[in-house]
Amino acid sequence: MPVMRRSKIRQRLLIMLVTGIGGMAAAAISFASAVYDAANPVPVPVIGKDQVVDTGRWRVTINGAHMSSLPPTGTKPFEPKRFLLVDLELDNRSVASSNVFMNLITIKDDVALLQPKPTYYLARDKWIASAINPNMPEKLVAAWEWPADRPEPQTLSLAIGKQIYKPRDNLYGAPNWFDDGEAAVVELPVTQAVETTEQ
């Protein structure tokens, strides 16, 4: 009986030792992989306008950019202003209506804007956009108010964010979409638009 107990104890110790070594090896490999990925990031593709970008949750197409003295509504401001307007198309690939595209596009240039996030307008009725429905592509206009003391840009670089879906997040155990860096950088020229004023 004592011999059998010793044998079982040795077996358990051996199992614990192998399990511990395996766990430490897995942790070391995971750490090394994270360090390697941080030291050697995958370059973000740089593309031109009219190309579809798959961000995970959205399909985004940047169609053009221009400067204007009018916002997308067409109503002339009380004080003279300049707006940078970007024409784009969004397709919601998720199963629910969503308005989280508000943080999807950022200006990549070093110019610091007074209004870092654009206001989005529906191209079809020139009003502020809300949630976009799944599988119903929508044409939008992203509008930044351009600082009066800055020269107007001739070209523009736009970073398009990427999102991944997790069936269970680490905090609540619920499904959600999470930011995951940049999907692409779109470089395009900025043109001057022919404007019609609405009184």
Give whichever of 131-145, 158-172, 179-193 has the largest mean pLDDT.
Answer: 131-145
β-bridge partners, 84: 67, 144
pLDDT recorded at residue 112:
53
> Domain boundaries in the chain?
1-41, 46-192
Spatial distance between the Cα atoms of 52 and 23, rounded to a whole number of angstroms:
42
Look at the pTM and tell me if it is higher than 0.85.
Answer: no
- Dig out the tokens for 5 from the structure: 């107990």
Task: Give the C-alpha separation, 34 to 26, whole Å.
Answer: 12
Single out the residue of 193, 182, 177, 162 nearest to residue 44, CA to CA.
Answer: 182
Q: Are 108 and 157 in contact (CB under 8 A)?
A: yes
pLDDT band at 199 (very low <50, low <70, confident <90, very high): very low
Give the single-character DSSP code of 54. Answer: E
Beta bridge partners of 146: 82
Rounded-to-integer distance, Cα 31 and Cα 42, Å: 18
Q: Which two tokens stand for residue 70?
A: 């009018």
Give the CA count within 13 Å in the CB-facing half-sphere of 108: 18
Q: What is the pLDDT of residues 22-55, one digit of tens each?
A: 888 888 888 787 777 667 777 888 999 999 999 9
Regarding the domain delimited by 46-192, which CATH topology (the fold level of the hierarchy) does it fall under? Immunoglobulin-like (2.60.40)
Establish how many alpha carbons lie within 13 A of residue 88's alpha carbon, considering only the half-sphere containing its beta carbon: 29
As a whole number, the mean pLDDT across the chain is 85
